[in-house]
Amino acid sequence: MNDSGIELTILKPPLATELADTLIRFWESVFDTSFAHLRGVLEDVENVQNHDALYVLRKQQKLMGTSHLTISRGDGRIGGLGEVATAIEFRRSGVAASLCERARNDFRSRGGEA
């Protein structure tokens, strides 16, 4: 946490049901489409195939934005970003860029390449 009240949290599945519900509702409001298909990922059903980390930025507990890093357990050089979303009131302030940069740097520090 810093002086501006902004806090980055890196979450690893399985997530509590309430938190998973909050994230799914957030993504659905940002993208105007269902994200119910991600419930299994948030419950850690992909654990055998992938390592998942959710980057969540909040300001005084208000959800600002998210980014989701998935890394293959079969080949740690392969990964991807998803669920890059910013709440309307925080858009154009660098939230998504900051979250993606952090996820990319974490991926590369683990040997990720593509």
Residues paired with residue 82 on neighbouring β-strands, in sequence order: 68
| Cα separation, 102 vs 107, whole angstroms | 9
Confidence of residue 1 (pLDDT cuts 50, 70, 90): very low
- pLDDT tens digits for range 55-78: 999 999 899 999 999 999 999 999
For residue 12, the SS3 value is coil
Q: What percent of the chain has pLDDT over 70?
A: 97
pTM reported for the whole predicted model? 0.93
| Cα separation, 84 vs 96, whole angstroms | 6
Edge to edge, what strands does the sheet with 62-72 contain?
6-11, 50-59, 62-72, 79-86
Specify whether the CB–CB gap between 68 and 85 falls below 8 A: no
Mean pLDDT in residue range 5-9: 95
